[in-house]
Amino acid sequence: MSREAGSGDRGRKTAAAPDPSGFSHPDTVAVLAGRRSGGAELAPALYPTTTFRIPSLEAGSRMALDSAESRYYTRNGNPTVAAFEQAMAELEGAEASRAFASGMGAVSCVVLGLCSSGDHIVAQRQLYSGTRFLLQAVCPRFGIDVTLVDGAEPGAFAAAVRPGRTMLVFAETPANPRLDLVDLEELGAIRGPLKAVDSTFAPPSITRPLDFGVDLSVHSATKGLGGHNDATLGVVSGTAELIASLWGFAILQGANAAPFDAMNGLRGLRTLGVRLERQSATAQRLAEALSDHPGVESVRYPGLASHPQHGLAKRQMRLFGGLLAFDLAGGSGAGERFIGAVRLAQAATSLGGPETLVAHSASTTHAGLTPGELEAAGIGPGTIRVSVGLEHSDDVVADLLHAADEATG
């Protein structure tokens, strides 16, 4: 642990913060990371300013082109945002990170910042619907070919790669909403294209995609990383070179993170470990209880032995997370009755926050899919996704079992 004196505000000496690089456990890193200011404050300092005084013309032209510069113009970089980015890089085991105005800001920068007309992308069918629309509807408009594969099928990504043409392989694990997993070791071993993984459902205390040879880790930090439903935020982590090259597109795309959201994101990271432990323990209890309910046809949770990729989950996830999905007998009528019957859980589309949320996938998160696409994605009329919150597990389990009784009894 570093105890050297740092120089704080107005040249005053301040005690240095503990150095997160001295600790290997992500929960400890999450508490310590991203304190680049050198000041004595423990909570992140908010810099709402859009711009900064430039010391000289020479310095200005250097600052304008430096992806790591956080005191030139806030669309390019900002000290509060840089603190969140530094924290994420430390947590991901990455050289650098870039924060965005949302998860989709991050995803679209990776896809459109890396790929050009004539390039080819391999992605999985089981994707967050916004990412899927970007790949299926927007990419073809720019002459980018996309092949969608079953991400849970061994060897499927590698088999679809076109040597010399595939620029990007894009995966999401666990995937929204049915918690299908992608084998990260297998993905990381693919040679040629860049590999990006949306790891929103598995924040770094659960899985660090870069440890498996993946090039870019992508998150909607609106979810578990921020963790309080008060920051709309995205982040991409990787080598300094890759992040600098994405920065060149990002400052034109303009989907930079707002300082206030980055501050809330950094505040959320401090409790990441305990939140994920609590949510994972409650989700496991809930998944087991729902599996025994006569009105529930199937439950998808990576921590259940019945999950077809439970062995893979044990290899690449430290915890199984707070997300699960299940299918009610009785189709969409049962789905609607279930949503109407919950008393503690709330019907809303996000995830990873303190409140338990339930979503009827076919009519909310995946509403834009055709019936055929819904079926191919395994989303039925009775599919419910649950994001387990921080309430006591007795209350969460009792509420959802009661709603399942009401919906199917």
Ligand X SMILES: Cc1ncc(COP(=O)(O)O)c(C=O)c1O
Which are the catalytic amino acids?
75, 128, 198, 223
Q: Judge whether 356 and 386 are in contact, CB under 8 Å.
A: yes
State yes or no: residue 104 binds ligand X (CB under 6 A): yes
Question: Looking at the DSSP assignment, which residues form a beta bridge with residue 299?
Answer: 326
CB of 151 to ligand X, least distance (A): 12
Q: Considering only the stretches 102-110, 163-171, 237-245, 399-407, report the one whose residues sit in contact with ligand X under the rule CB under 6 A.
A: 102-110
* Closest approach of ligand X to the CB of residue 201, in Å: 6
Choosing from 70, 102, 124, 282, the residue that interacts with ligand X (CB under 6 A) is 102
Q: Which is nearer to ligand X, 34 or 234 (CB)?
A: 234
Letters for 346-385 (x = contact with ligand X by CB under 6 A, - = none) are ----------------------------------------
Q: Are 326 and 384 in contact (CB under 8 A)?
A: yes
Please count the CA atoms within 13 angstroms of the CA of 189 that sit on its side-chain side.
10
Beta carbons of 154 and 190 less than 8 angstroms apart: no
Distance CA 361, CA 349 (A): 9
| Strand 5-7, strand 13-15: pairing | antiparallel
Whole-number minimum distance, CB 59 to ligand X, in Å? 35
- Residue 170, beta-bridge partner list: 123, 196
Using the minimum distance from each CB to ligand X, give the nearer residue, 341 or 348: 348
Give least dist CB 398 to ligand X, A.
27
Contact 66, 89 (CB under 8 A): no
CA 228, CA 82: separation in Å to the nearest integer? 20
By rule CB under 6 A, what string of x and - marks binding of each residue 210-249 to ligand X?
Answer: ----------x-x---------x-x---------------
By CB under 6 A, tell whether 84 contacts ligand X.
no
Looking at beta carbons only, is 104 or 258 nearer to ligand X? 104
CB 186 within 8 A of CB 259: no
Site string for ligand X, 172-211 (x = CB under 6 A): x---x---------------------x-x-----------
Closest contact distance (angstroms) between CB of 335 and ligand X is 19
Q: Are 300 and 319 in contact (CB under 8 A)?
A: no
Q: Quick one: 130 or 188, whose CB is closer to ligand X?
A: 130
Question: What is d(CA 177, CA 247) in angstroms, rounded to the nearest whole number?
Answer: 30
| Interactions with ligand X, residue window 247-286 (CB under 6 A) | none
Which segment (101-109, 279-287, 354-362, 386-394) binds ligand X by CB under 6 A? 101-109
Please say which residue, 227 or 234, places its beta carbon nearer to ligand X.
234
Kindly state the smallest distance separating residue 9's Cβ from ligand X, in Å. Answer: 34
Here's the x/- map for ligand X, 122-151, by CB under 6 A: it reads as: ------x-x---------------------
For the CB of residue 87, give the shortest distance to ligand X in the complex, in Å. 18
Only segment of 83-91, 97-105, 252-260, 268-276 that touches ligand X (CB under 6 A): 97-105
Which residue from 34, 103, 295, 303 is in contact with ligand X, where contact means CB under 6 A? 103
Instruction: Give residue number: closest CB to ligand X.
Output: 103
Residues forming the site for ligand X (CB under 6 A) = 102-104, 107, 128, 130, 172, 176, 198, 200, 220, 222, 232, 234
